[in-house]
Amino acid sequence: MTVQADPKPTVTDREDIAKRLLRSSAKASYDPLVEIDWDAPIDRDRYAIAPHRVSLYGTELWDRLSEDQRKELSRHEVASIASIGLWFETILMQMLIRHAYDRDPTTNHVQYAYTEIADECRHSVMFAKMTHKLAGRHYRPDFITHNLGRVFKAISNGPLTFAGALFVEEILDQLQREGMVDETLDPLVQAVSRIHVVEEARHMRYAREELIRDWDRHGAVSKAYSRFVLGLVVYFATTRLISPEVYRSVGLDPKEAAKAARRNTHHIDTKTWAARKVVATFDKAGLLAGPAKYVWRRAGLLGRKGAPAPVAAAAA
């Protein structure tokens, strides 16, 4: 995929945008424990994500699965994606607290940071409850990824904090925006998606503007460092979205299935589609350059050579 270089995006006054986001939060925030019927059973006759978004769709392994197995796999893949989302939200909350620690709490900017932390606490509980309902388990990141998360939250600077947040939130947002309007999917997944989309729209605006505002304050060495570390974050977060253990739920060998998923053009195209907006944002801001771009391509986020521009795929 070739990203067109557009003029650098503009930002609004920090206090003004935070004031608007605080007002929006007061009008449209949700308590998932109240809004969602957690006692309702999962509808096992429905997919949890559209079939064409399942990592094995279109492969020989997919053809071997029964329709019930495909639906079961979709539930475990959504649980895996939510588990990674929860993992990163936990990292983000710690980084936002660090961001607020040295700043004036009487400002709208810091007060919105506290508001976002509260949102993310509720989202983490919501994702945890959904993964338990869908899969009966938590798909923890592998040992290396889990501990790299510890390192990232310790060494993160301003651009990395908000770029990392924006990347993960944008990926989830694209998948959930598609899923929340698909009435063929499980109602629980739709309900979680609707809540997350509404509240994450504010978080993404906050992160996007703070990233762009802060980026130009850094020198060439700091920018190169940030691009490199962001590339690693992007690679590990993206390649761990679907845990190999999900395939065990439908009787497949995790190593064989994970290998098939990595090579699956449908899966690569889905990742490219989900990342298209954040890729464009980072490219405009100047974060998508140098050796780090190779890592983005290895993660399957810049598309396949010769492939058409990513669009929403037709449902199976």
Q: What is the pLDDT of residue 309?
A: 53
Q: What is the pLDDT of residue 313?
A: 46
Q: What is the pLDDT of residue 5?
A: 45
Q: What is the pLDDT of residue 315?
A: 39
pLDDT < 70 positions in the chain: 1-11, 305-316
Q: What residues does each domain of the chain span?
A: 14-27+44-298
Do 154 and 102 meet the contact criterion of CB atoms below 8 Å apart? no
Distance between CA atoms of residues 177 and 242, nearest Å: 19
Distance between CA atoms of residues 129 and 261, nearest Å: 27
- Alpha-carbon separation of residue 139 from 81, 89, 242, 243 (angstroms): 9, 15, 9, 7
Indicate the burial class of 311 (C-beta count within 10 angstroms; 0-12, 13-18, 19 or more): exposed
Helix axes of 108-135 and 67-101: crossing angle, nearest 10 degrees: 160
pTM, 2 dp = 0.90
Q: What is the pLDDT of residue 308?
A: 56
In the structure encoding, which two tokens stand for residue 186, read together?
A: 């499980």
**6 in helix, strand or coil?**
coil
Do 182 and 190 meet the contact criterion of CB atoms below 8 Å apart? yes
Distance between CA atoms of residues 58 and 76, nearest Å: 18
Give the position of tokens 């003004």. 16
In the structure encoding, which two tokens stand for residue 105, read together?
A: 């709490």
Q: Per CATH, is 14-27+44-298 categorized as 1.10.620.20? A: yes
Helices (H) and strands (E) in the chain, counts: 12, 0
Q: What is the pLDDT of residue 302?
A: 87
Distance between CA atoms of residues 75 and 48, nearest Å: 5
